[in-house]
Copies of this chain bind each other. A is one copy, B any other.
Amino acid sequence: MNHPVPLAQLKKPLPSEFLQALETLFEDRFTISLAMREHHGRDESSYDPMLPDAVVFAQTTEEVAAAVKLCHFHDVPVIPYGTGTSLEGHVLALRGGLTIDLSQMNSVLAVHAEDLTATVQAGVTRKQLNQEIKDTGLFFPIDPGADASLGGMAATRASGTNAVRYGTMRENVLALTVVTSDGRIIKTGTRAKKSSAGYDLTRVFVGSEGTLGIITEVTVRLYPQPEAISAAVCSFASAADAVNTVIRTIQMGVSVARVEFLDENSVRSINAYDKLNLPEQPLLLFEFHGSAHGVQEQAEVVQEIAAEFNAQGFEWATRPEDRSRLWAARHNAYFAMLQMRPGGRSISTDCCVPISRLAECILDTQADCERHGLIYSIIGHVGDGNFHVLMMVDPHDPADVANAEAVNERMVARAISMDGTCTGEHGVGMHKMDFLVQEHGAEAIETMRLLKHAFDPKNIMNPGKVIRW
């Protein structure tokens, strides 16, 4: 997919003293090799790569600050890079510049099990953190599909399947260390669970996608592993029945830990990818956390609601290995879908609406996909009113891409008309900047722009993302 802006106009060659200074600082962790630049100029979106001019691998906050100071002095764009799993072009070097790869900042700095908090370097991934704290009896619940870095997850305000119970990065980040656009190092909070002490800088940077500063350390909340977990899966004759089951569950205040919707296309693709035999119908996947009694109670209520909507084949998965298999399949849904159109790329979009509008929003979107002959699937963290559409396109066929983009535009307009948002968890990147204006209105965007100009007056922090300068 091509970007409408002629890149040549935006890029200028980097000063040689800038590159030399970086090489002196980072030695063999500085590179201008084409392979490395290509690797860092892409994400999981359908955009063609846009390459930075150079890449450094930082190991400390101080190194990030030193690199940013150089970028600030020389007016060079700077892009933080975690695992490259973003979906809306977040890490593409639209105007060239320097990519700071944070994957070597992968130390868990402190686990305060007694306070249910951990502090990690930004490059630590969610799976790594959970592995390292396994023996404490605690876990970190936020799980976007990919094994993303916590810095990247904070920067995109990520969530995932557990958000319906545990919240998103917005609720679970207590404090950040951030390098500002002029290379200063700030701490945005403490380990106190709540605070009324001044402006909420933590949440200013959470979701700012590298456009206001670079997150180098993250302090998150942890949770005791639940005493009991059970999972259930059931199928429905229609997507409406499945989603209405979820709406009723949420309205009744049942505290489900996870509830995922998969349309029949998703089920078909994961059956093929994961060698499963799930009925190829709309499906809900539930998980319950709590005491043995509590889990049973919640599950019974949900099973009753599902029965009202004619759920079929309600099946329990209480054994850890059965649960893992189901959730692994769910987390593979993206990759499973890629197999449905070999050589294609996916346009992966999401939106989020108030729960009462969810069935309508999903059904209308589904009808639109069908009407326009897309190869697509719809899956969702439906307990939050959040769902995803994966559309497989031939990136070199403009009509195909335009068809999918038009469906996306109508989905976003639909969500906004329902008092929802143009993205529940993927973020804005380059792809949703116009939708952001549509959602918030010109006056609120102007206020966001004040923030951007104040925090990044030279427009060097991941320029061309979130809002237009």
Contacts and interface: CB of A to CB of B under 8 A. Distances in A.
Contacts of A115: 354-357
Contact of A356 (B112, B290, B386): B112
A315 interface: no
Contacts of A37: none
A180 B426 contact: no
Nearest to A429: B196
Given A117-B354, A451-B454, A436 B198 contact: yes
Contact of A297 (B203, B223, B291, B448): B291
A384 interface: yes
A397 interface: no
Contacts of A180: 443, 447
A262 interface: no
Contacts of A185: 443
A192 interface: yes
Contact of A421 (B171, B197, B440, B448): B197
Contacts of A427: 196-197
Interface stretch (A154-162, A234-242, A276-284): A154-162
A199, A204, A422 pick with most chain B CB within 10 angstroms: A199
A444 B207 contact: no
B422 A197 contact: yes
Contact of A355 (B114, B190, B432, B466): B114
Given A157-B200, A467-B198, A193 B352 contact: yes
Nearest to A455: B450
A196, A416, A436, A451 pick with most chain B CB within 10 angstroms: A196
A448 B201 contact: yes
Contact of A198 (B200, B207, B416): B207
A33 interface: no
Nearest to A175: B419
A250 B206 CA distance: 26
Given A187-B441, A198-B440, A451 B204 contact: yes
A186, A250, A357 pick with most chain B CB within 10 angstroms: A186
Contacts of A423: 195-197
Contact of A206 (B200, B386, B450): B200
A425 to B, nearest CB: 5
Nearest to A436: B198
A64 to B, nearest CB: 14
A6 interface: no
Contacts of A291: 294, 297
A195 B171 CA distance: 12
A194 B422 CA distance: 11
Interface string A227-256: 000000000000000000000001111000
Interface string A405-436: 00000000001100111111111100010011
19 contacts: A167-B171, A168-B194, A180-B447, A184-B447, A186-B440, A186-B444, A188-B444, A190-B439, A192-B352, A194-B386, A194-B425, A195-B421, A197-B428, A198-B448, A199-B452, A200-B207, A201-B447, A201-B448, A447-B455
Interface of A: 112, 114-117, 156-159, 163, 167-168, 170-171, 180, 184-201, 203-204, 206-208, 212, 223-224, 226, 250-253, 290-291, 293-294, 297, 352-357, 384-386, 415-416, 419-428, 432, 435-436, 439-441, 443-448, 450-455, 466-467
The 9 closest A-B CB pairs, nearest first, are: A224-B253, A454-B454, A203-B203, A114-B356, A195-B421, A115-B354, A192-B352, A186-B444, A192-B421
